[in-house]
Chain A
Amino acid sequence: MTFYISLSPIGLFAHDNKGELVDSVIFTDLNKAKEQFIAAMDKQQTDEEAQLIKKIEKKDKEIIFEIPKEGYVNQFPNISGDTVRQNLPKLAQSTGFCKNPSDLYNHIHSLNMGITRAAVKKASTGDRFLIHAVNTIDELESSANMLAIRLKEWYALYFPELIENTRSNEKLASIISSDAHRDKISPEDAKDTIGADCPEQDIIPMHRFATEIHNIYLHKKELEEYILKKSKEIMPNASELISPMLAARFLAIAGSLEKLSKFPSSTIQVLGAEKALFRHIRGNGTSPKHGIIFQSPLVNQASRKTRGKVSRMLASKLSIAFKMDYFDKKLKGGKKLKEDLDKRLQNLKG
């Protein structure tokens, strides 16, 4: 005959295969129960479990746990867990764990709150920080460009020649923010400008605005440095194959390093090309050859004919690298992967 053991918020129970209670170990009291329960969720055997097993082992039977436990078979759901979950309030009273149901439910509430709070704390890992940084870069870029358009229109009233001669928004913001007076920026152009002459009070707000935009660009550069560093830390192996920035973008699309590590290489190959992929699955159009993987120079500098192949090879190596990065960062396989890839690329050319 077999005995089944289950864990509950009030203690441990053992039942026989007919669902009859054989024995139990009830947690000491409401205060201690939390600790004892959390310990029992682990694979390692706790004192309470040892106590229960000792009690029933005299009867010399096979023991089956409901949750994984080192050295024992487990089965879910088992008859013991089923019976306990069916009668929890009754059991709590009859075993003397607590006097009334409301005590039991307050206990279950606080037990779960504790476990969940700890789990939430643990879930905020380094990759989450990196993801927000990547998304922030994109947002800074687009807002800076939007504000720069306004600056161009505004400043062109005063000194249109500068706008004409400066292509880059970033540079423009930098010039105006250092000094907004046109005769300081370019005395030659300023001499016969078609821009309006205006008093100091009109120049000050433009200067202030340009400074703001300039700061956004500076901030973006700082963030890029942070991402580079952080990405190398979190994904050292993937960073050997592609730029750390691109690795971080992969992470941002996937949502977490765990998810990324579980993607097959075919998914990695087309990550970022969802629109084309689903169009293909619906039956219109060809399958995409590459998603954001295209940003790697290996892919975008390959000849048109081999791009698909290169992107497939790179994706397959990347999928291995992401797995190393997630499961064990100490694995230094990135270099080897890169060498293998280079060899294969050579064959492709030759």
Chain B
Amino acid sequence: MKCVIDGIYRFGKDFATLSLAPNKKVYDEKTIRKGKDEYRIIDPKKSKLGAALRMGLKETGLFEGAKVLYLGIASGTTASHISDITGEHGLIYGVEFSSRSIRDLLPVSRVRKNMIPILADARMPQTFASRIEKVNVLYQDVAQKDQSEIFIRNAKAFLKKGGTAMIAIKARSIDVTENPKKIYAQEKQKLSQYFEVVQQVTLGHFEKDHAFFLCRMR
């Protein structure tokens, strides 16, 4: 076991986070016990952050005490690991549009006090702006046609200067017929107007036709 990135530990080829709520699984993730500590392995097939790490993501910008805005939090699979990393002094504002997914998220956020569920459309930041504050990290996984625009709009409104922003781009949501590589290039260009794109990885066989961008707010 080795701590490779802030809050993320490596077990062989797997990546894991130190559980904030031991003995309480969020999804059916594998866990490893080390004395009192419980490490939760990030399943790369279920979490795009996990997949990006496996595909060579070098940093996440997450740290203990960080404030995070998570757009498209769904039922909190990836977010639970981010919640492990930011710890009890950190905070995740999780925005999700599907009431079905939020229903699964509510019990998780009852246990993990640093996860804040918000049922809203990420396209309209004005509807939830009053309920949140500025953040250090923006994470987005929404699979919408205008996902880059949503990302930029929210980053402008909520991301602190120099903050980190991560986005999972699903090529098939933007145009099913276009070559994914072409879409990545085009989206990267959009992002470059506002961010410094630090790293780009494709998610390989974990998530078909997905790319993951790590950006820094200018």
Contacts and interface: CB of A to CB of B under 8 A. Distances in A.
A120 B103 contact: yes
A116 B117 contact: yes
Contacts of A123: 99, 119
Contacts of A66: 126, 129-130
A240 B200 CA distance: 53
Interface string A65-101: 0110000000011000110111011000000000000
A282 B177 contact: yes
Instruction: Give 7 closest A-B pairs by Cβ, nearest first.
Output: A123-B99, A76-B126, A7-B130, A88-B133, A119-B119, A85-B133, A85-B134
Interface stretch (A102-110, A152-160, A196-204, A294-302): A102-110
A76 B99 contact: no
Nearest to B160: A86
A147 B135 CA distance: 56
A116 B106 CA distance: 9
Contacts of A8: 130, 133
A124 B99 contact: yes
Contacts of B106: 113, 116-117, 120
A117 B117 CA distance: 9
A103 to B, nearest CB: 12
A256 B125 CA distance: 23
A116 B102 CA distance: 8
Contact of B130 (A6, A106, A282): A6
Contact of B132 (A85, A117, A283): A85
Contacts of B118: 112, 115-116
A226 interface: no
A89 B91 CA distance: 13
Given A66-B129, A77-B129, A86-B134, A109 B99 contact: no
B88 to A, nearest CB: 9
Interface residues of B, number: 28
Interface string B143-167: 0000000000000111010000000
A112 B176 contact: no
Given A77-B125, A81-B129, A116-B119, 16 more contacts: A8-B133, A67-B126, A67-B129, A67-B130, A77-B157, A85-B158, A89-B133, A105-B91, A106-B113, A115-B118, A120-B102, A120-B119, A123-B99, A123-B119, A124-B99, A278-B176
B91 to A, nearest CB: 6
Interface of A: 6-9, 37, 40-41, 66-67, 76-77, 81-82, 84-86, 88-89, 105-106, 108-109, 111-113, 115-117, 119-120, 123-124, 278, 281-283
Given A66-B126, A281-B177, A115 B99 contact: no
Contacts of A282: 176-177
Nearest to A9: B131
Contacts of B116: 108-109, 112-113
Contacts, number: 88
Contacts of A77: 125-126, 129, 156-157
B109 interface: yes
A85 B131 contact: no
Nearest to B131: A112
Contact of B99 (A88, A89, A120, A278): A120
A161 B156 CA distance: 76
19 contacts: A6-B130, A37-B130, A66-B130, A67-B126, A85-B132, A85-B134, A85-B158, A86-B134, A88-B134, A89-B133, A105-B91, A105-B113, A108-B131, A113-B110, A113-B116, A113-B117, A115-B118, A115-B131, A120-B103
Contacts of B102: 116, 119-120
Contacts of A106: 113
A67 B130 CA distance: 8
Contacts of B113: 105-106, 109
A116 to B, nearest CB: 5
B118 to A, nearest CB: 6
A111 B131 contact: yes
Contacts of A105: 91, 113-114
B109 A41 contact: no
Contact of A81 (B99, B114, B130, B156): B130
Nearest to B176: A278
Nearest to A121: B99
Contacts of B109: 109, 113
Contacts of A116: 102, 106, 117-119
B158 to A, nearest CB: 7
Nearest to B113: A109
Nearest to B90: A105
Nearest to B175: A281
A283 B177 CA distance: 9
A281 B129 contact: no
